[in-house]
Amino acid sequence: MNTFDLSPLRPRLPSPLEPVEDERFARRGLTLLLKRDDLIHPDLPGNKWRKLALNLREADGRPVLTFGGAYSNHLRATAAAGRLLGFPTIGVVRGDELAGRPLNPSLARCAADGMRLEFVDRATYRAKSDPATLAALLERAPAETYVVPEGGSNALAVHGCVELGRELAGAADVVAVACGTGGTLAGLAAGLSPGQRALGIPVLKGGFLGTEIRALQEAAFGGARGDWALDERFHCGGYARTGPALEAFARDFEARHGLAIERLYVAKMLHGLVTLAEEGAFPAGTRLAAVVTGAPEPPPEGS
Ligand SMILES: Cc1ncc(COP(=O)(O)O)c(C=O)c1O
């Protein structure tokens, strides 16, 4: 491991752990803590910091190429890191129909941060981990470009998320986290102590995530780690699907607890946790921690 210096970013670590009063938990003898990873860094909040930090050290100032959709938080975080630490970034964006159109606010921020955007058709995007496709993309990139996979989830990212589990040592019995690729859960579970368990709430429909988490742990640690489980009931129909019930839940949570809730991941996880508490899924006395893995997007400038 090299020593590329991330300290200019001044991350707020360990992230704060805040108790909240919520009668939906209290009436069942449960306590709820919010693990405020959203406060780690304004441009690399939550699991973006945890997953990118070791990758950026490994890249050691070389150009970084990564992948995302037109609204990818991961692309934006990578572009911001490049601007703040002074390394070039290349974003491979799904959808060649976007090329030549005005950039949406998310991609405009990436471009303003100096990221070179490469729009590719959906078939190429799906094949991005095939060696030949990746080699073709890298041919257009500077020599020695470092590749971070979509969503930032690789073995180094999983190792970066171990620290999240360690920060919760002794503080909670069950730790809930929203899952996309499962990289955050894979590392979190490995960092928890014996007797603590992680509960993943997938935001995508499909039922494939358990296998992917096992593969990520295999790649990172050479085998299974920690006590974790998934509850697949709270994706609201799939990625980026929300709906009025989830919106009402999130607004109510914001009003009760005075923090802004990111809708695509964090709201689904909190909704799952409240539902499970109301179903009596946790014995009285259980200390629950909910990881706030991201912050809502600020509205585009000028709006
Ligand atoms: C706010 C937020 N929470 C949770 C996740 C899920 O993380 P992972 O892909 O590691 O499961 C993401 C995706 O990166 C995210 O943006």
Query: For residue range 82-121, what is the model confidence (pLDDT) as tens digits?
Result: 999 999 999 999 999 999 899 999 999 999 999 999 999 9
CATH architecture for segment(s) 63-144: 3-Layer(aba) Sandwich (3.40)
* Distance of alpha carbon 138 from the chain centroid: 25
Residue 6's pLDDT band (boundaries 50, 70, 90)? very high
Residue to mutate (ligand 1; options 66, 161, 265, 271; most atoms within 8 A of CB): 265
Listed by start position, the domains of the chain span: 10-45+153-291, 63-144
Least Cα distance to 20 among 255, 244, 180 occurs for 255
Cα 160 from Cα 252, distance rounded (Å):
32
Cα 268 from Cα 288, distance rounded (Å):
16
Check if 10-45+153-291 and 63-144 are the same fold.
yes
Instruction: Identify whether 72 is a catalytic site residue.
Output: yes
Q: Is the pLDDT of residue 302 over 50?
A: no
Residue 300's pLDDT band (boundaries 50, 70, 90)? low
Q: Is the pLDDT of residue 301 over 60?
A: no
Looking at the CA of residue 200, tell me the nearest atom of ligand 1.
Answer: 11
Report the predicted TM-score, pTM, of the whole model to 2 decimal places.
Answer: 0.94
44, 52 Cβ separation under 8 angstroms? yes
Q: What integer pLDDT is reported at residue 299 of this predicted model?
A: 57
| Cβ < 6 A, ligand 1 pocket | 46-47, 73-74, 151, 153, 178-184, 262, 265-266, 293-294
- Out of 1.10.940.10, 3.30.56.10, 3.40.50.1100, 2.40.50.100, which CATH number does the structure's domain 10-45+153-291 have? 3.40.50.1100
What's the pLDDT tens digit per position in 240-263?
888 999 999 999 999 999 999 999
173 burial level (CB within 10 Å; 0-12, 13-18, 19+): middle
- 3-state SS, residue 289: strand
What's the pLDDT tens digit per position in 158-211?
999 999 999 999 999 999 999 999 999 999 999 999 999 999 999 999 889 999
